[in-house]
Amino acid sequence: GAGVSQSPSNKVTEKGKDVELRCDPISGHTALYWYRQSLGQGLEFLIYFQGNSAPDKSGLPSDRFSAERTGGSVSTLTIQRTQQEDSAVYLCASSSQWGLNYEQYFGPGTRLTVT
């Protein structure tokens, strides 16, 4: 079956512009996670959704970052007024339930480059 998909696969933007990154989780998966991976920081957790609500936003690095999820499915991560330090690969993962006993399936990521 279809896995987690993300779009775009690559995004180049100018400093100060806003960007939206999209994640389509596996159908029926209630839990959705955003992570980012940059050279200096490794893989970092950003935000977690259970259904449409986000009980854990502790990893969002600043108020320029926000995310929403609609219909318990698609999620969008928005970065406002992008900065060069936002350059990273943004990864989305979904699992059938919350909690660690449920395998997380990762998408291929969106590579964001801020010039």
Residue 77 makes contact with other proteins by CB under 8 A:
no
Window of 13-21, 43-51, 62-70, 78-86 that interacts with other proteins by CB under 8 A = 43-51
Residue 100 makes contact with other proteins by CB under 8 A:
yes
Q: Are 79 and 64 in contact (CB under 8 A)?
A: yes
Window of 17-25, 35-43, 65-73, 78-86 that interacts with other proteins by CB under 8 A = 35-43
User: Shortest distance, CB of residue 48 to other proteins, whole angstroms?
Assistant: 5
Query: Pick from 23, 24, 29, 33: which binds other proteins (CB under 8 A)?
Result: 33
Query: Pick from 29, 79, 107, 112: which binds other proteins (CB under 8 A)?
Result: 107
Q: Are 18 and 79 in contact (CB under 8 A)?
A: yes
Nearest by Cα to 79 from 36, 35, 18: 18
Number of residues that bind other proteins (CB under 8 A): 28
Residue 32 CA neighbour count, 13 Å, CB half: 31
| Lookup: tokens for 113 | 């480059």
Query: Between vectors from CA 12 to CA 6 and to CA 13, what angle results, nearest 5°?
Result: 115
